Structure 1
């Protein structure tokens, strides 16, 4: 079989371009964590002592609306990624309750905005902000 220059050129071009391909869904680098005590949105990391906490999802927000009377105060539970030196875990943290892991404790201490009673007064996921503190 005899290859001519016309047959080899397209193969060489295809091989060269294959090395320049981009991966469409490559992971983006995470943003640096916010300073301890900062209110952060879902997906935004924040420093909590020697840890970094990242609120990932509102699991439950059954808190009593600020303009209502309730028999039960309700609770806010946020799925939170916790990063330490050489480890990572995800846990559901409840507002005001300490969570201990790897000889360190932290707590979800604030969740804003507070719910409001009334027709169509539901908090949008993008509006939530959270604060964590070491315990």
Structure 2
């Protein structure tokens, strides 16, 4: 067998070896998305009606702390990637406000954990969990 490889040119040998390579299929977003209603972390995909939503970044979390009284309730805004059949959008979704694209209406319906007064630090990104609904 060694004599066979010695007589092959490097280009021919590389072509022969690459023909054996196995390239896995790239999964579609739907195949890796969690079921609708599942709270997801940043970067995790979830099915929302006919689309897949993936929270990418917390843009703003100015919500009133759970253990405080506030004049203004504040907002939670999450940059979210939305994948539909043949299209992709990215939008800043605000907690409780519906958002529409391509005849699809969805909403960010919860963001946990809530903020606590007196903690002195922001919620760690890995602690967040988000829930989306189709409307």
- Whether TM exceeds 0.5 here: the answer is yes
Q: Unpaired segments of 5 or more residues in structure 2?
A: 1-6, 21-25
Q: How many pairs align?
A: 128
Q: Unpaired segments of 5 or more residues in structure 1?
A: 1-7, 21-27
Query: TM-score by structure 1 length?
Result: 0.79
Once the 2 structures are TM-superposed, how far is the Cα of residue 120 of structure 1 from its aligned partner?
A: 2.8
The answer to whether the Cα contact below 8 Å between 1:116 and 1:122 also exists between their aligned partners in 2 is no
Alignment of 1:89-108 (within 5 A): 89-108=89-108
- C-alpha RMSD of matched pairs (Å): 2.7
Once the 2 structures are TM-superposed, how far is the Cα of residue 19 of structure 1 from its aligned partner?
A: 8.8
**Runs of 4+ residues deviating >3 angstroms:** 8-20, 28-31
The answer to whether the Cα contact below 8 Å between 1:93 and 1:108 also exists between their aligned partners in 2 is yes
Match of 2:50 in 1: 50
Once the 2 structures are TM-superposed, how far is the Cα of residue 15 of structure 1 from its aligned partner?
A: 8.4
Match of 2:39 in 1: 39
Which of the pair has more CA radius of gyration? 1
1: CA distance, partners of 2:80 / 2:63: 18
Which whole-Å deviations, capped at 9, do the CAs of 1:35-90 have from their partners, x for residues lacking one? 10110000000000001000000000000000111111000000000011110010
